[in-house]
């Protein structure tokens, strides 16, 4: 059997790791040194050389996207499918376990996943039910508390509460959990905790999986939390082998309970583990790598790793200081256009930022220049209001006891069920220890609700029942389509007649296409609808509508972990933005911000551009900032200040310069005459007023009904009328 392709092109240390005998292993290495690649090849090695069945391997990654990529690469190496291998995120795998053993986990068969938005609503409801003032007891804080305790593996009854704050939060946790259990809802943290308890308390289930998974492999181990590590230990038992890969310098989820100490705990708990260090970086140019190394060197308490590359020196890091965030966006757009002109693909570009809210201005700049882009996180498809509304109807059809879904759509579209009536339903649900659906039924049956309220609530209950009856035999997409119409959601957004409403209608339609392309695995006891709903909650947004289009990638620094791009922009490099204001006061949090900076920089393969704005309007406030301290930590000879080399102009400045003698040339450049009528897909019809610039930079001023606009000709896709 020829297995050389599993080791080809690897360095010695990588080969050692891929072809090691059966043993526990820790691969500890810096960014871009091939950790993930080693993991992929190791899995292929286990299957092809060591003759393990894919069934006996469990591999854990940080995102669903990473898992899909990993599966694809393993299949490519082996030339066969490895569907039976458990590969996914901790949450995804926990979910799978709970579905398979729902009874042992004391869950109803049709349990649903509660995402963090719905969780917050439910927490708010609990606070109201306990008569706690939300000003004094913010729902977010309670949510944080609950998830934190769950990540530590603690149930409310295990918590020792001494002061009034702890006692109250503990009470909220207990009441919240009761409500979840009653309604068959499982939040993200609960997935892990419940699966952990299942393995811990059920000898049969535990031994079954311990026998099955002979090899457990975990990527990005530095960002595991306590319960995730406990999971790994439990499944490892005494006979199985664990391989973890990680980088302490890339631990960026401490704020969410991740424990970089797990790396040391692993060496303590698996003393026979061999540590393999990889030191050659294959991703970035020398410039980028040295600059990243210089920044992270400012942190203390590092495990210490060398990282070098024999690749090209590459271009220096570009630094651009803008006046404000608008100008920052304009500069970035101009760099992107330059990249395109040189034949670069848009999908090789990433725009990274510290906070989701920073994306809006960048998006506007890209939209204006008609550069396609995709967003990871933030505006996730399944997180959008209208999509959540539609999904809530589907969830209710699948499970009437889903209180979160009930609350969401009982009066959407409005059907005259006011806060007072809802209050009665909540109260009854609380008193009777039952779900809102049942409580509503009861209030109707016992004629406690009267008049219009009774009619309205009855109408809603009947609607959901009828929708189920009418659609249960339909295909998933026909069912979804019918629900969109039958619920009145589509009509509601269609009637709204605003730009936003139009997008919402499009999104609802997109939901039907999502159900069309969704392939259920046909897991026992699960309807396609139930499978789709789990998918919607778990994979929110990782797959967007225009996944196949060549597009610039926008994401937070956090979600860029593990990825790589030829050209990377790190935007908003200002004190108070990055590092964030809260973190700059605390050394621990500052160190984590610096690791985040290291993660961001090491995503870049060829070019890295850092930008900052002297003033920035964010969350509706204008602030002046100094450049980020991380900029000051870069080796000066690795940085090129590009401010003086570029000309970013406002249309009025450039108009005066190009005022005379360009009309003829511009006609050749743009193909439009002054005074000509043109059509734009978004702004409608207009008249050409002016030109400026040449080549792909040439711009055209058009007077539309909504006012005059400067457009980049190459991207505006104007049609002559």
Beta bridge partners of 242: 216
Q: How far apart are CA 219 and CA 400, in angstroms?
A: 38
How far is residue 217's CA from residue 276's CA, in Å, rounded to a whole number? 14
Q: Is there binding between residue 321 and ligand ATP (CB under 6 A)?
A: no
611 is in an annotated binding site: no
Nearest distance, CB of residue 85 and Mg ion, angstroms = 19
Residue 282 binds ligand ATP (CB under 6 A): yes
Catalytic, 219? Answer yes
Asked if 611 contacts 571 with a C-beta cutoff of 8 angstroms, the reply is yes
Decide if residue 690 touches ligand ATP (CB under 6 A): no
Q: Determine the Cα–Cα distance for residues 580 and 590; give it in Å rounded to an integer.
A: 8
Q: Which of 32, 88, 378, 600 binds ligand ATP (CB under 6 A)?
A: 32
220 part of the active site: yes
Nearest of 687, 698, 692 to residue 661 by alpha carbon: 692
Burial of 622 (0-12, 13-18, 19+ CB in 10 A): exposed
Pick 284 or 471: Cβ nearer Mg ion:
284
Q: CB of residue 246 vs ligand ATP: minimum separation in angstroms? A: 8
Fill in the DSSP letter of residue 628.
P
Does residue 451 bind ligand ATP (CB under 6 A)? no
Among 10, 122, 428, 537, binds ligand ATP (CB under 6 A): 10
Query: Shortest Cβ distance from residue 23 to Mg ion (Å)?
Result: 21
How far is CA 504 from its chain centroid? 21
To the nearest whole angstrom, how small is the minimum distance from the Cβ of residue 8 to ligand ATP?
9
Number of shown-chain residues binding ligand ATP (CB under 6 A): 19
Phi-psi region of 195 (alpha: psi -120 to 50; beta: other; left: phi over 0): alpha
CB atoms closer than 10 angstroms to residue 21: 7
- Of these residues, 151, 190, 220, 481, which one is catalytic? 220
35 is known as an active-site residue: yes
| 31 is known to lie in a ligand binding site | yes
**From the candidates 36, 471, 571, 670, which is the catalytic residue?**
36
Residue nearest to ligand ATP (CB): 34
Count CA atoms within 13 Å of residue 611 on its CB side. Answer: 27
11 binds, among Mg ion, ligand ATP, none (CB under 5 to 8 A by kind): ligand ATP
Establish if 92 lies at the interface with ligand ATP (CB under 6 A). Answer: no
33 labelled as ligand-binding?
A: yes
Q: Which does 257 bind (CB under 5 to 8 A by kind): ligand ATP, Mg ion, none?
A: none
694 as an active site residue: the answer is no
Distance from C-alpha of 589 to C-alpha of 584, rounded to nearest angstrom = 7
Give the 3-state secondary structure of residue 227.
helix
Strands in 195-316 per DSSP E? 215-218, 241-246, 274-278
CB contact at 8 A, 74 and 103? no
Strand 621-624 and strand 552-556: the pairing is: unpaired
Binding residue (CB under 6 A) for ligand ATP from 24, 35, 426, 629: 35
37/215 with CB nearer ligand ATP: 37
x-or-dash string of contact with ligand ATP, 554-583, rule CB under 6 A: --------x-x-------------------
For ligand ATP, the closer CB: 15 or 212: 15
Name the binder of 695 from Mg ion, ligand ATP, none, CB < 5-8 A by kind. Answer: none
Phi, psi of 624 (to 5 degrees): -105, 135
Under 8 Å between Cβ of 125 and 407: yes
Q: In angstroms, rounded to a whole number, what is the distance separating the alpha carbons of residues 15 and 667?
A: 60
Residues 37 to 66: which contact ligand ATP by CB under 6 A? 37
Q: Which of residues 545-564 bind Mg ion (CB under 5 A)?
A: 562
Q: Using CA of residue 4, residue 7, residue 12, residue 17, what is the dihedral sign?
A: negative
**Minimum distance from residue 216 beta carbon to ligand ATP (Å):** 18
Q: Is 706 a catalytic residue?
A: no
Q: Is residue 561 flagged as an active site residue?
A: no
| Ligand-binding site membership of 29 (annotated) | yes
Question: What is the nearest approach in angstroms of ligand ATP to the Cβ of residue 194?
Answer: 29
Q: What is the largest CA-CA distance in the chain?
A: 85
Closest CA to 380 of 476, 514, 478: 514
Closer by beta carbon to Mg ion, 35 or else 384: 35
Radius of gyration for the chain, computed over Cα atoms and rounded to the nearest angstrom: 28
Binding positions are 29-36
Residues binding ligand ATP (CB under 6 A) = 9-11, 14, 29, 31-37, 247, 250, 282-283, 562, 564, 602
Catalytic sites, residue numbers: 35-36, 219-220, 250, 603
Residues binding Mg ion (CB under 5 A) = 35-36, 562
């Amino acid at each position: 059997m020829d297995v050389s392709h599993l080791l080809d092109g690897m360095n010695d240390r990588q080969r050692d790791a891929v072809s090691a005998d059966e043993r526990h292993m820790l691969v500890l290495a810096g960014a871009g040194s091939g950790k993930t690649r080693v993991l992929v090849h190791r899995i292929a090695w286990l299957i092809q050389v060591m003759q393990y069945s894919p069934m006996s391997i469990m591999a854990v990654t940080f995102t669903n996207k990473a898992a899909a990529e990993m599966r694809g690469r393993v299949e490519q190496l082996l030339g066969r499918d490895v569907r039976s291998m458990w590969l996914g995120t901790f949450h995804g795998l926990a979910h799978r376990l709970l579905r398979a053993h729902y009874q042992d986990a004391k869950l109803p068969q049709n349990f649903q996943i509660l995402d963090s938005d719905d969780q917050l609503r439910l927490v708010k409801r609990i606070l109201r039910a306990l008569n706690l003032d939300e000003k004094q007891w913010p729902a977010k804080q309670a949510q944080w508390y609950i998830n934190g305790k769950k990540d530590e593996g603690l149930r409310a009854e295990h918590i020792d509460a001494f002061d009034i704050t702890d006692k109250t939060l503990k009470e909220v946790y207990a009441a919240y959990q009761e409500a979840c259990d009653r309604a068959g809802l499982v939040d993200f943290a609960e997935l892990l905790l419940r699966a952990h308890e299942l393995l811990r308390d059920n000898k049969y289930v535990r031994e079954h999986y311990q026998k099955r998974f002979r090899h457990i492999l975990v990527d990005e181990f530095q960002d595991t939390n306590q319960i995730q590590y406990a999971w790994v230990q439990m499944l490892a038992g005494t006979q199985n082998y664990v391989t973890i890969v990680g980088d302490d310098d890339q631990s960026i989820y401490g704020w969410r309970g991740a424990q970089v100490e797990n790396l040391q705990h692993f060496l303590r708990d698996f003393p026979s583990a061999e540590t393999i260090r990889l030191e050659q970086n294959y991703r970035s140019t020398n410039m980028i790598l040295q600059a990243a190394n210089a920044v992270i060197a400012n942190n203390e308490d590092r495990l210490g790793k060398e990282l070098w590359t024999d690749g090209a020196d590459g271009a220096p890091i570009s630094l651009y200081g803008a006046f404000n965030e608008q100008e920052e966006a304009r500069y970035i757009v101009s760099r992107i256009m330059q990249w395109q002109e040189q034949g670069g693909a848009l999908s090789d570009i990433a725009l990274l930022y510290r906070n989701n809210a920073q994306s809006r201005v960048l998006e506007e700049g890209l939209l204006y220049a008609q550069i396609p882009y995709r967003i990871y996180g933030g505006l996730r498809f399944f997180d959008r209001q209208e999509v959540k509304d539609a999904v809530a109807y589907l969830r209710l059809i699948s499970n009437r006891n889903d209180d979160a879904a009930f609350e969401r759509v009982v009066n959407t579209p409005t059907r005259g069920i006011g806060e007072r009536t809802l209050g009665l339903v909540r109260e009854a649900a609380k008193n009777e220890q039952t779900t809102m659906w049942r409580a509503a039924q009861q209030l109707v049956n016992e004629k406690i609700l009267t008049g219009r309220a009774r009619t309205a609530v009855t109408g809603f209950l009947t609607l959901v029942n009828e929708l189920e009856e009418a659609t249960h035999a339909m295909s998933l997409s026909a069912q979804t389509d019918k629900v969109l119409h039958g619920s009145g959601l589509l009509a509601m957004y269609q009637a709204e007649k605003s730009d936003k409403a139009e997008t919402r209608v499009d999104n609802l339609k997109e939901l039907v296409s999502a159900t069309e392309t969704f392939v259920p695995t046909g897991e026992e006891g699960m309807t396609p609808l139930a499978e789709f709903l789990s998918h919607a909650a778990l994979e929110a947004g990782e797959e967007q509508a225009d996944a196949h289009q060549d597009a610039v990638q926008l994401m937070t620094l956090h979600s860029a972990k593990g990825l790589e791009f030829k050209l990377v922009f790190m935007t908003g490099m200002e004190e108070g933005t990055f590092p964030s204001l809260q973190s700059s006061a605390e050394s621990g949090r500052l160190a984590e911000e610096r690791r985040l900076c290291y993660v961001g920089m090491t995503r870049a393969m060829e070019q890295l551009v850092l930008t900052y704005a002297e003033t920035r309007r964010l969350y509706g406030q204008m602030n002046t900032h100094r450049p980020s301290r991380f900029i000051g930590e870069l080796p000066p000879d690795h940085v090129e200040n590009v401010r003086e080399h570029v000309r970013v102009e406002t249309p009025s400045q450039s108009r005066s310069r190009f005022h005379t003698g360009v009309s003829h040339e511009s006609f050749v450049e743009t193909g439009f005459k002054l005074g000509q009528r043109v059509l734009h897909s978004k702004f409608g019809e207009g008249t050409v007023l002016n030109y400026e610039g040449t080549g792909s930079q040439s711009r055209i001023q058009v007077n539309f009904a909504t006012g005059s606009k400067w457009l980049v000709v190459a991207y505006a896709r104007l049609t002559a009328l």
